[in-house]
Structure 1
Amino acid sequence: MMSGVTIGQAAAFVGVTVKTVRHYHKLGLVEEPERDGSGYRRYGSDELLRLVQVRTLATAGVPLAEIGALLDADPGQFTAALADVERRLTERIADLTARRDTLHRLADGDRALLPDRACAILDRMAGLGLGPDYVAAQREALVLARALVPEGFDGFLTQLEHGLDDPGYIELIRRGREAETWEPDDPRIDELATAMADHFLAHPTLLGNPTSLQAWTKASAQYRLINNHRGDQAPISARLTALTEAKLRSAGVTVPRR
């Protein structure tokens, strides 16, 4: 009577493919049984047990390269090794969960690139009727600011929140939007820049806290990229910003150079 089963039967019993069994042999995880008189390799209970152990550990997430040493370890080493595998799996789960959450946020537009606090600010801008073009430009500026000057991002959000709480500031923003229809040499541009600078000086929280200002000052190159974003699409607004900043510098306020 033949003892043992063929490789196909062994694979089926254990729940893997023949190719997988041969791969385990190649890696040295399971020894190949000797051929019988008919030239077939017959798998006995020892080989089947080893196959089950290897498959179970592999399914649990243990790298194949580590399974051999794990199965040959003493009980204490085995327990410690499993704890290490569990730790790495937990880290992978956290990483995969974060990736899944990002995919979910992608379906929600802004939330893929910006935190909830920034999205709430954009929602408030839209609710105040500042217009889709303005909100879109601010969205892009926030994405750039978060990526290029992360240490100054929270302070930037705080500035925006103070601004949205200030009716006078909102009115100046609306006037700035209207200015895009003015001629480049319209004297009202300089007048509006003066009004903006005066408002900032009268309400210092709109300028940001010292930590945030320092972060932006150190990142002058990044500031220029963010501040000049869409400048070609809104030239009057760009000029208005430059004039306002110049007036603030004249008043002793530290503002990064454009």
Structure 2
Amino acid sequence: MGSLTSKLNKRFYGKKSHPYKIYLEEIVNRLPNGAKVLDAGCGHDAPVISDIAAACDIAVGADITYLNPCNANPSVKFIINDLSAIGLCDACLDMVISRSVMEHIKTPEDIFNEINRILKPGGYFIFLTPNLYDYASIFSKLIPNRFHPLIVKMTEGRNEDDTFPAYYKANTRRDIQDLASGTGFEIKEIEFLGQYPAYLMFNPFVFLIGTAYDRMVCRFNCLAFLRGWILGVLQKL
């Protein structure tokens, strides 16, 4: 990331809340007292569930890949398992959260059914996922998955081993509505969120183009469906 691009990012987005922060605030605002929470696809260091663990009676991180609990909150319990068969008992959780995971799920109805099973009636499923109609997602969907690790390394500097296949089967309003109605959820909120053009940080000129685009889709509500992220809040019926 060049110093000029960093300065531009600070100038245009320094005071704007990142979708990660908005997502975390949504979780905290809906946490009940004595909450039992699962982070589905928590990631190696489980950053989100670690942040809220102190406010939970039980905090669990689940992922199919290796975990690194030494960097996470010691009060977080960990499960290494497929998210379609997490292994917890029925109706045992108040909330399931998930960040940047739904785009990697090949059969999202299986995940939604499993999450519904382990939630108590009235429990929340809160997730943040890329919007299929964002330009980055469109390019990602058009480019074969075998090329994604190299592209992500070049544009973001992320380790190639930390890049996973993307399917984008739960990444539009219609997809989420269909999945929710078919798996026993009521939609409480679907919000489209903008973000600084993270994939364009490698060049100041293209970063400015991405910034202009983001400002346009964030200014006009009729273009909200083009914003980069979808925040979904579902409640078990």
Q: TM class by shorter-chain length?
A: under 0.3
Q: Which has the higher contact order (CA 8 A, sep 6+)?
A: 2
**Larger Rg, first or second structure (1 or 2):** 1
| Higher normalized helix content (fraction of residues) | 1
